[in-house]
Amino acid sequence: MQLAARDDVSDYLIAPDPGAVRLTRAVEGVDHTGARAAISVVEERPLTIFLNGQEIVTAMTIGDYPEYLALGFLRNQGMLQDGEVVKGVDYDDDLDTVVVRTDGRTSYEEKLKKKTRTSGCAVGTVFGDMMEGLEEVRLPDLAVKTSDLYALAARINRTPSLYLEAGAIHGTVLCEGARPLVYMEDVGRHNAVDKIAGWMFSEGVSAEGKLLYTTGRLTSEMVIKTALMGIPALVSRSGFTAWGVEIARQVGLTLIGRMRGKRFVCLSGEDRLVRDADPEAVPEEDGKSRRKSAPG
């Protein structure tokens, strides 16, 4: 197995841009010895998403790819259906807003009002909505080769990222076979997934043949988002929640967690696994990647 050089990201369609000026800031403080130290910290900004005339949500985000974040959020909330015509996506970086304009008035608007009235808060609303869509999900076949999983984990952990630069950020990567295609990072792990969903919607990319790799925990919301995106496998360095596992089993999603070095555990959809790699031949992680566990 030939690994690409450490900072060769030429085969990514979108790779992290750890040098981007708007995403991190040097902040001065003092360290444990009392010495002044300038450390690089990630930005965190509000972004308010509108769908046509209606304000939908304010997300706390690192601030890159606001258009993808808005489209992906609306997709993953079921507010933007397949085949819906998006007339425009307007980002205003002074107001920190994105307005998504679609053809005509969408039915979600009545639904949103009703839900808001009955449950009083969008946190419950959003969750209720998302569970509803799950019954119709039919996830495609996929051969999840363990050789690909090991290659992806090694590659992603070594890819220059805001995480390696400044920490305190989540990463989610859309992958195909052994190739990471789109690597999004954000202070909120759901934002990173939503940005991938927005990219897929914008580019008309199908979920067929894809898997999602995330640094975050495999909670119910992560599993639901992945399933609604039609992606049949979700892989993480981190652990599981019981409800995340339960939902993955209900929808037939392959769920792999605690993937570090040669180790991983598959708690759902084991039938997609193709064990074509010898785990004993996989090197243990070095110190640098071992620290790359999920931020909180």
Near its own copies in 14-43, by CB under 8 A: 24-25, 27-34, 37, 39, 41-43
- Do the beta carbons of residue 207 and residue 229 sit within 8 Å? yes
Element (H, E) at 134: helix 122-134
Contacting range for its own copies; rule: CB under 8 A; set: 137-145, 166-174, 203-211, 225-233: 166-174
State how far the Cα of 86 lies from the Cα of 69, in Å rounded to an integer: 14
95 binds its own copies (CB under 8 A): no
The answer to whether residue 166 forms part of the interface with its own copies (CB under 8 A) is yes
Q: How many residues at the interface with its own copies, by CB under 8 A? A: 78
140 binds its own copies (CB under 8 A): no
CB atoms within 10 A of CB 115: 18
Among 157, 159, 161, 215, contact with its own copies (rule: CB under 8 A): 215
> Binding of its own copies at residue 291 (CB under 8 A)?
yes
Alpha helices in 160-228 (DSSP H): 162-166, 189-203, 220-228
Cα 236 from Cα 118, distance rounded (Å): 35
For strands 233-236 and 254-260, give the pairing. Answer: parallel
Return the residues of window 256-285 that contact its own copies according to CB under 8 A. 258, 262-268, 270, 273, 275, 279
**Contacting residue, 170, 210, 225, 272, with its own copies by CB under 8 A:** 170
Binding residue for its own copies, selected from 4, 20, 89, 122, defined by CB under 8 A:
122
Residue 111 in contact with its own copies, rule: CB under 8 A:
no
Q: Judging by beta carbons within 10 Å of its beta carbon (0-12, 13-18, 19+), is residue 275 exposed, middle or buried?
A: exposed
Decide: is 167 part of the binding site for its own copies (CB under 8 A): yes
